[in-house]
A and B are shown apart, each in its own frame.
Chain A
Amino acid sequence: MEPLAQTEAMPRPGTEPEIGFLYLSLLLGKAVHDAHGLLVGQLSDVAVSVGEMFPPVVGFVVQRGRWEPFPLTGRWADVAEIEGPVIRLSVGIQSLTPSKTEANGEVLVREFLLDKQIVDMSGAKVVRVNDVHFLKLGRLELRLAHVDVGTRGLVRRMGWEQALDALVRRVAPHAHYLKDERLIRWQYVQPVSLEPKAASLRLSVLQRQLSELHPADIAEILTELDGHERVSMFQSLDPETAADALAEVEDLRIQTQLIETVPPARAADILEEMPPDEAADLLGELPEEKTTALLKEMEREEAEEVRELLTYAPDTAGGMMTPEFVALPVDLSVADTFERLRQIAPDVEAIYYLFVVDGEGGLVGVLNLRHLILAEPSAHLRDIMIANPARVHHTDSRDTVAEIVEKYDLMALPVVDDGDVLVGMITVDDVVSHIAKQAWTRKLGR
């Protein structure tokens, strides 16, 4: 509970402005008196009704003495006035209910928000709530406006704000500290742990916001969170967003943890949305039975691609490649190629490099979009392609792949089987980390 001296920060009655701001930490701990002037206890929490842009305070919780197990709950409408350290009710104590169960769509601010981790949507990172900031619209109408994540909020909670402010003002009147309010607007807040009580319902509006972040940002947020919160946030994402974010998570341990904690059907949906090589890497880390079970749940086509990738040894070109590439027949015209690309491009990861194959699927050439755009529409691929391009066999090592990509400055490298049939491609992003590692190893002399 905050010391009484804190309430000095509240405007005095009479001079009290109708509109202003109020911190939760200054509200908590106030003595609550009922209509007959009887002391009920101390204010221990307030409930807001979420769903509106500025959620209004609709209820309150009173802790009766230190040893009373059950708090009392009332409606905010029954508050008659807030005066200094005292809250007066317009009803008797008997109209309060002995529990703290909140109605549908209501959130207890202290219990669910204060001191908890939240996602700051505007900064795309995880922060901790030090205080909660209410907008005062009428004499008693409070609306949740901001959460305070700054150092001042911490200091205020410790009960040191006034002392420290006075000190800082004396020592350094222009100190950054005095103006350093780190408030995040409620609209840009994504609570991560309103679990387990009907969280999905009340967060449906905010959840949409989360999927609008860049997958790499979501991945970083997931990595910053604690175990269960990470899982519950991941489970709240739609499969497409979840797949994009999962592919961006750097830490393989977190990747496998996340995919293992969602129900198999959902995990399969997510894996289908991922690039097959990423999905295969992930599945390769799971126990055998789990992998088999998940592959069974996936759509046949996607599962087949992943299954095929899993048969290649992880450290070979086959294990690194993606089976999603564009292969075009050698006698196709440029005009027809554009038509074909329009149809297939949405399902393929990279269309910058196009591979040209003969009737048996054998690799005969390569061209990029630039060649295609500059060519006459009537020309055939045979005429504009680079014949006999660099390639690797699917059993070639990682080092060989890196070497060839580096040597020829390739964006994508075709992978062929024993019969020189094109089976996949390796894009440069899958090789960069390996090259970086080699450079790093050389640098450290390991």
Chain B
Amino acid sequence: MDAQAGALRRLWRRRPRLPARIALVLAVIGPGIITSNVDNDAGGITTYSLAGAQFGYGLLWTLIPITVALIVIQEMCARMGVVTGKGLADLIREQYGVKPTFYIMAALLIANLANTVAEFAGVAAALEIFGISKYVSIPAAALFVWWLIVYGTYRRVENVFLVACLFYVAYLISGVLAQPSWGGVLVHLVVPEFHWRSEYLVMLVGLVGTTIAPWMQFYLQSAVVEKGVRPADYRYARYDVIVGSVVAVVVAMFIMLACAATLHHRGIAIETAQDAALALKPLAGAYCAGLFALGLFNASLFAASVLPLSTAYYVCEGMGWETGIDRKFREAPQFFGLYTALIVLGGAFILMPHFPLLAVMYLSQVLNGMLLPFVLIFILLLVNRRDLMADQVNSRLFNVIAWGTSLIMIVLTVVMLGSVLLGAA
């Protein structure tokens, strides 16, 4: 990542030798699981909570098709990373030239700014539960994120975060303790129901957008390239993607379930983060708000440091600008400019009085859903090119699923926009 981190890694390189096979698995495993966990960030927790609180078990059925699509899409990116050895932004630039790259990077930048705002909103919402004003928490969080990158210790925070992911177990337990009717859950999981109401459509796009966020594809592919996974070891990377995707969706399911069984059941609408915390009541009782706040804070802060940094990286890589946090500002002005702008703007929005924290966390995920098909189309065009992928091009099944997902998302987006605009008119 940078010279300093490189030097530090060098210090710790003398690890005891492990049996070759375990070492190999460990060398390959990671990007998929990490990507999926970062995905359960402020926007994710909010969207799943809202989905459960507003629609009860009514949206559970979407999780199975979403899991399939998530695995297929993430697998395509991991495969492209292994076969071509290049990140997604690089590939789009090299194969389709500067114009498509510019527009897709511009769109990604806007979506990720929204996502960054959502992460800071998560920090603010979580700490407001503890009575800490956002005018204190947001500048502090923004500074902390800056500090992390300047000192290059982000990898270790990543580990802390991964451990803290155990927080999601709380939802698992709470979901069980709330004693949902498991028969009903099962039925709702496999029997689709559909409404043309605009709230329902917006939620659908948001659910897909938060689970299969466009930045994840860029992040995963770069992580796979950075790991230097060889084609011969690719099957391990594939397990990594599958396990990560399934875990992410199971977590999503239990958040939805916990909220459905506690909030929807009693007709409580979520309007603040405090409301969302009530889903943990069966487990934590009076401490549910505290538990929720800790989890949300942890997820938000981590994502708030990953997202702006990785966004600045892809955009600069795609446009051919100098990157790297070990460079001076003058040497990589676009990189530092973007990174700083994302953090500063991300925090600044939240500081506006009466800022609707929850709504922004949710709507940023809807924006992700709207952008997804465009990114997906480029992924599909690239992954089917024989000159790049040789015999690793997509199978027909994968193409059907992925093209189907893009098509469904485009149709959903158009119908959703139509219905929202008509509803507003």
Contact = CB atoms under 8 A, between A and B. Distances in A.
A67 B23 CA distance: 49
A235 B161 CA distance: 38
B225 A226 contact: yes
Contacts of B227: 253
B320 A127 contact: yes
A437 B11 contact: yes
B10 A157 contact: no
Interface string A206-232: 000000000000000001001111110
A63 interface: no
Interface string B82-115: 0011110010011001110010000000000000
Contacts of B20: 287-290
Given A227-B225, A287-B20, A287-B23, A250 B7 contact: yes
Contacts of B408: none
Interface residue tally of chain B, by bracket?
A: 35 or more
A357 B85 CA distance: 52
B86 A128 contact: no
Interface in A125-176: 125, 127-130, 149, 154, 157-159
Interface string B60-101: 000000000000000000000100111100100110011100
B225 A157 contact: no
B228 A254 contact: yes
Contact of A157 (B87, B94, B99, B230): B99
A114 B84 CA distance: 18
Nearest to A249: B6
Contacts of A231: 85
A306 to B, nearest CB: 15
Contact of A284 (B3, B17, B81, B99): B17
B11 A128 contact: no
Nearest to B92: A115
A315 B13 CA distance: 10
B6 A116 contact: no
A285 B86 CA distance: 24
Contacts of A251: 6, 9-10
B178 interface: no
B184 to A, nearest CB: 48
A160 to B, nearest CB: 10
Contacts of A159: 99
B193 to A, nearest CB: 43
B195 interface: no
B86 to A, nearest CB: 4
Contacts of A287: 20, 23-24
Contacts of A116: 94
Contact of A154 (B10, B23, B90, B320): B320
A432 B39 CA distance: 40
A226 B90 contact: yes
Contacts of B86: 226-229
Contacts, number: 90
A290 B24 CA distance: 12
A434 interface: yes
B14 A319 contact: yes
A315 B319 CA distance: 43
B160 interface: no
Interface string B13-57: 111110110011000000000000000000000000000000000
Contacts of B9: 250-253
Given A127-B320, A253-B228, A314-B14, A157 B97 contact: yes
A39 B319 CA distance: 34
A440 B11 CA distance: 12
B98 A157 contact: yes
A78 interface: no
Given A257-B228, A433-B7, A437-B8, A227 B94 contact: no
A281 interface: yes
A288 B23 CA distance: 11
Contacts of B230: 260-261
A250 B14 contact: no
Interface in A224-250: 226-231, 250
Given A130-B98, A157-B98, A287-B23, A315 B14 contact: yes
Nearest to B19: A288
A253 B31 CA distance: 15
Contacts of B94: 115-116
Contact of B98 (A154, A285, A288, A289): A154
A250 B6 contact: yes
A114 B94 CA distance: 8
Contacts of B13: 252, 281, 285
Contacts of A440: 8
A193 to B, nearest CB: 8
A130 B321 CA distance: 11
A149 B7 contact: no
Contacts of B10: 250-252, 433
Contacts of A128: 93, 319-320
A115 B7 contact: no
Contacts of A230: 85
B127 to A, nearest CB: 24
A322 B93 CA distance: 46
18 contacts: A116-B94, A127-B320, A154-B319, A157-B97, A158-B98, A226-B90, A226-B225, A227-B81, A227-B228, A228-B84, A250-B3, A251-B9, A254-B228, A260-B230, A281-B14, A287-B20, A288-B20, A433-B7
9 closest residue pairs by CB, A with B = A128-B320, A227-B85, A228-B85, A314-B14, A287-B20, A250-B6, A257-B228, A157-B98, A226-B86
Given A154-B98, A227-B84, A433-B10, 11 more contacts: A115-B97, A117-B90, A128-B93, A130-B98, A158-B99, A226-B90, A226-B225, A250-B9, A284-B14, A314-B16, A437-B8
Interface of B: 3, 6-11, 13-17, 19-20, 23-24, 81, 84-87, 90, 93-94, 97-99, 102, 225, 227-228, 230, 319-320, 322
